Homo-oligomer: A and B are copies of this chain.
Amino acid sequence: MPTLATLAVRFGCELIGDPDHEVDSVATLQNASPRSISFLANLKYRRQLAATRAGAVVLEPRFAAECPVAALVCSNPYAAYARIAAELHPLPAAAPGVHPAAWVDGSASIAPGASIGPGAMIEAGVHVGERAVIGPRCVLMQGAAVGDDTRLVASVTLCRRARIGARVIVHPGAVIGSDGFGFAREPEAWVKVPQLGSVQVGDDVEIGANTTIDCGAIEDTVIEAGVKLDNQIQIGHNVRIGELTVMAGCSGVSGSTTIGRRCIIGGMVGIAGHLTICDDVHITGLTLISHSIRVPGVYSSGWPAEEARRWRRIVARVRRLDSADARRGGPGPSGPGAETSDEGGDAD
């Protein structure tokens, strides 16, 4: 088991406390024992510091004085905690090789150190890189490729020619490379537009459970390196998401929109198609993005809840703004400020 000194040196912390104290786990401030490391990164939990029984707490210099136990002091406690936790709680290594209850096409190329789990189905021309883990019941369709050290946890579907980089994690139920939503309108039918592109997922990406990423119509849909997507996200065809952008659960991006680097996108955000979002944009949850964003900053359009009767009065008064202005002979529908809220149906 590592000592506090070992952890301090390895993860760049200043140690205040017994360098030889051994720890074997992480825990919350409230429930830690002396064998555990805890951390303080969110001020909400500051009150729990005084009573903690942890072996040591990872924290910022300004809290060191109030720490009743050993302290691992650094400028970014949450990141240091993340690395310590990975050290103390390593994922069990998956046994290399192909499970007897998996099926692998003869033309697939599986690196010797890769692990293929029970129920995995691997079609022709698939490539699986070194130390990659293909968990139970994954489906890798023709020509898909998975980079070194990538992990498809379980029940993931990669459609034809989807290309996943190195050190990627894909959570269960995700679908990568399904057809983009493309139909041409005729009077009596919708004609399916073949979706001939694929999906490229860069290195060090994480994709959440039941998230769907559509393939491109001709060229590819691209998720750049270091992007983190939460669960239940929908990415439309020919979207490009820039490096290090993170997106919280249930959000959706319509086709052909480009999102810049280092963006932070909240949950249940809806982004219309054919837009450009620049770098370093922060979008709060339940917001509708219906126009391109060219200036970094924070953008919102969610309405915080009210008690229901009060909300009905608010809605009623806002509606009367429209009638009141009409009676006063106010601006017509195309007056200044008249905007289209037009995140329309993407049947393009």
A317 touches B312 (CB 8 A): no
Q: Check: A204 CB closer than 8 A to any chain B CB.
A: yes
- A266-292 residues with Cβ-Cβ distance < 8 A to B are 266-268, 270, 272, 274, 282-291
The reply to whether A81 and B301 form a contact with Cβ atoms under 8 Å apart is no
A302 within 8 A of B: yes
Q: Is A121 an interface residue (CB 8 A)?
A: yes
Cβ of A47: which chain B residues have Cβ within 8 Å of it? none
Q: Which residues of A contact B (CB under 8 A)?
A: 26-28, 31, 41-42, 44, 76, 78-79, 81-83, 85-86, 89, 92, 101, 103, 117-119, 121, 123, 135-137, 139, 141-142, 153-155, 157, 159, 169, 171-173, 175, 178-179, 181-186, 188-194, 196, 204, 206, 208-210, 212, 214, 218-219, 226, 228, 230-232, 234, 236, 244, 246-250, 252, 254, 264-268, 270, 272, 274, 282-291, 293, 297-323, 325, 330-331, 333, 335-348
A182 to B230, CA, bound (A): 9
Given contacts A171-B175, A210-B210, contact A290 B313 (CB under 8 A): no
CA A305 to CA B288, docked complex, whole Å: 6
A-B contact pairs, 20 of them (CB 8 A): A41-B184, A83-B191, A103-B118, A137-B157, A171-B175, A181-B231, A189-B244, A210-B210, A210-B232, A249-B252, A249-B346, A266-B346, A282-B344, A287-B305, A298-B307, A300-B308, A314-B318, A317-B322, A318-B318, A319-B339
Chain B residues with CB under 8 Å of A172's CB are 139, 157, 159, 175, 178
A-B contacts besides A172-B175, A189-B244, 13 pairs, CB < 8 Å:
A78-B348, A79-B184, A81-B184, A89-B194, A119-B121, A135-B141, A173-B173, A183-B246, A212-B232, A247-B345, A300-B342, A312-B333, A314-B321
